[in-house]
C-alpha cells in the first residue's frame, strides 16, 4: 500500500516544425523558446510560479514544468496571452534568420510524485502521460496548421479535469463555454480518448472562417452551385444566356465566322447574349 502523491499542475510546450531547421538554428530556437517561456511568466506577474517551478525539463524542441495547482487560475487567465505576446516580439528577428517559433501548450493536473530519485528529471504516471498526449494531439496541431504562421503563434489545450475543476468551477475570469472549444482527443493505438478544450490567444486564417474545432479543408464538402445546362453544338452562352422562347439577338462573334438564318444557327466557339424580340 502506498500513499497518494500530491496533486501537481503540469505544463508542456512543444515547437512546431523544429526539425525543419538546421543544427545552428535549432540551438538558437531552443534558447529563444526557454527565454520566451520565462519572460512571459514575468510579463504577466507570475514570476513566483516560474522561480519555484518543479521538475523543469527540456525535450529539445519543447519544455516542461510543474507547479502547485493553486496557481492554475492565474496561469489560465494571463499566461497564454503573455506568451503569445513574447513570441510575437521575437517574430521579425527569427523570420529574418529563416526561423519560426510557434508553440503548442497543454495543461493538466493530478497526482504525480515529483519527490523522486534525483537521477530522474520528471515524475511518471497518468497525469504526466496525459499532458504529453494532449500537446501532441491532432486537434491542437490542427490549430497551427489552419492559422496564419505570422499571426497565431500559440495554440493551447486544457484537460477535462482542468476545465471542470478550475474554469467551470468559477476560479478564473475566463469562461469555458465562450472562450474554449471542446473536442475529443483520440489516439486509438494508445487506447486514449478523452475530452479536451482548445484556446488560441490570437485567431487567424482558416480558424476565423471555420472555428477552432472546424473541419479541416480536406474534410469539408465542396460548395454546391447551381447546375447550368451546357449549350448545344459547341456554343458558349454568356452569363445572360439565351432568351426564353429560343430567340437569339446581339450575337457577338468571338473567333470564327458564324451564319445565322432567322432563329436557326450554326456556330462554333462564340459567345451569345440573348434578348427576346419585341
CA-closest candidate to residue 132, choices 215, 216, 66: 66
What pLDDT is recorded for position 38?
Answer: 98
In this prediction, residue 177 carries a pLDDT of 81
SS3 assignment, position 65: strand
Q: What is the pLDDT of residue 272?
A: 41
Angstrom distance (rounded) from CA 203 to CA 249: 52
Averaged pLDDT, groups of 10, the chain, 278 residues long: 86 96 96 97 97 91 96 98 98 96 97 67 83 94 96 97 96 90 84 90 94 62 50 45 40 42 43 44
Name all domains of the chain by residue range, CATH numbers in brackets.
Answer: 7-214 (3.30.70.1230), 226-278 (no CATH)
Alpha carbon 65 to its chain centroid, in Å, reads 23
Residues 64 and 137 sit within 8 Å (Cβ to Cβ): no
Q: What are phi and psi of 276, to 5 degrees?
A: -75, 135
The full DSSP string for 229-278 is PPPSTT-EE-TT-SPGGG----EE--SS--EEETTEEE-SS-EE------
- Residue 193 grid cell: 480518448
Amino acid at each position: 500500500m502506498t500513499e497518494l502523491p500530491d496533486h501537481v499542475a503540469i505544463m508542456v510546450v512543444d515547437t512546431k516544425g523544429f526539425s525543419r531547421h538546421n543544427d545552428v538554428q535549432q540551438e538558437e530556437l531552443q534558447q529563444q523558446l526557454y527565454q520566451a517561456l520565462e519572460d512571459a511568466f514575468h510579463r504577466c506577474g507570475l514570476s513566483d510560479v516560474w522561480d519555484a517551478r518543479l521538475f523543469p525539463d527540456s525535450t529539445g524542441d519543447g519544455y516542461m514544468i510543474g507547479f502547485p495547482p493553486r496557481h492554475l487560475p492565474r496561469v489560465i487567465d494571463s499566461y497564454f496571452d503573455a506568451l503569445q505576446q513574447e513570441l510575437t516580439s521575437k517574430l521579425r528577428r527569427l523570420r529574418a534568420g529563416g526561423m519560426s517559433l510557434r508553440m503548442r501548450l497543454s495543461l493538466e493536473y493530478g497526482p504525480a510524485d515529483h519527490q523522486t530519485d534525483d537521477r530522474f528529471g520528471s515524475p511518471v504516471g497518468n497525469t504526466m502521460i496525459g499532458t504529453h498526449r494532449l500537446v501532441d494531439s491532432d486537434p491542437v496541431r490542427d490549430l497551427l496548421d489552419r492559422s496564419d504562421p505570422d499571426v497565431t503563434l500559440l495554440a493551447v489545450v486544457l484537460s477535462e479535469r482542468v476545465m471542470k475543476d478550475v474554469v467551470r468551477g468559477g476560479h478564473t475570469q475566463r469562461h469555458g463555454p465562450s472562450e474554449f472549444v471542446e473536442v475529443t482527443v483520440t489516439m486509438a493505438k494508445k487506447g486514449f480518448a478523452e475530452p479536451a478544450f482548445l484556446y488560441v490567444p490570437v485567431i487567424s486564417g482558416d480558424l476565423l472562417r471555420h472555428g477552432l474545432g472546424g473541419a479541416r479543408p480536406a474534410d469539408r464538402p465542396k460548395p454546391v452551385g447551381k447546375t447550368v445546362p451546357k449549350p448545344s453544338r459547341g456554343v458558349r452562352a454568356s452569363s445572360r444566356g439565351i432568351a426564353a422562347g429560343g430567340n437569339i439577338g446581339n450575337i457577338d462573334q468571338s473567333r470564327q465566322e458564324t451564319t445565322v438564318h432567322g432563329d436557326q444557327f450554326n456556330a462554333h466557339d462564340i459567345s451569345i447574349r440573348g434578348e427576346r424580340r419585341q
